[in-house]
Amino acid sequence: MLTISIQAGGQSSRMGEDKALKTFLGRPLIQRVIERLTPIADEIIVTTNRLEDYLFLNLRLISDLKPGRGALGGLYTAIASAAHPIVAVVACDMPFASATLIETASRLLVEEESDVVIAKNEEGYEPLHAVYRRETCMPAIESAIDADQWKVIAWFPHVKVRVLTPEEMKQADPSGLAFWNVNTPEEFAKAEQIALA
């Protein structure tokens, strides 16, 4: 059973407006992300501190359980608020978020009894398009927050992390666009062009 948590808590400083609500091909970007992932989800939740802005989605909206703790606090909120044992956490600004990739990661999490299944590239891990085991990740993240750690992956040494291989990623996400998050108006326009192609 899979909960998908869409993170809509960022500042969107480079965009100059809320990225999640910016129109992408005629509707808010967050709506596109949700529609891409709905077919595989048993539950979809949205984490945001601006609940009233997202009421139109008719989904369960959750404010930070650990206010002021940045991305790590957001991750904790997503995992702690999930109704199901497996939680996929996805950023609201990924127009090509991949249901296939999340399905692959969820399957590996169960088969290999991992706690986190995540992609990693030359820039590092992709924690906002990854799958987590609620039972083991929640206490590990809480301990990291209590220890005043801020890095979103600070707690990884305490759980079993399975990194997706380049082959697994290519097979599940042939376009290689799943992890692309749009931060500027230029990137937004380019993503719309690719989506229409």
Rounded percentage of the chain residues whose pLDDT exceeds 70: 96
Confidence check: pLDDT of 12 > 60? no
Residue with tokens 């929640």: 138
Dig out the tokens for 185 from the structure: 């108006």
| Element of type H or E holding 171 | helix 166-172
Helix axis angle, 29-37 relative to 99-111, nearest 10°? Answer: 50
Write the pLDDT tens digit of every residue in 136-153.
Answer: 999 999 999 999 999 999
**If you average pLDDT over residues 121-138, what whole number do you get?**
95
In angstroms, the CA 2 to CA 107 distance is 11
What pLDDT, on a 0 to 100 scale, did the predictor assign at position 131?
98
In angstroms, the CA 111 to CA 114 distance is 8
What pLDDT, on a 0 to 100 scale, did the predictor assign at position 42?
97
Domain extents in the chain: 2-196
**Cα–Cα distances in angstroms (integers) from residue 179 to residues 31, 78, 126, 129, in the given order:** 17, 18, 7, 7
Confidence check: pLDDT of 13 > 60? no
Answer whether 63's CB lies under 8 Å from 23's CB.
no
What pLDDT, on a 0 to 100 scale, did the predictor assign at position 145?
96
Residue with tokens 């979809």: 44
Pick the CATH number of 2-196 from 3.20.20.140, 3.50.30.30, 3.90.550.10, 3.40.960.10: 3.90.550.10
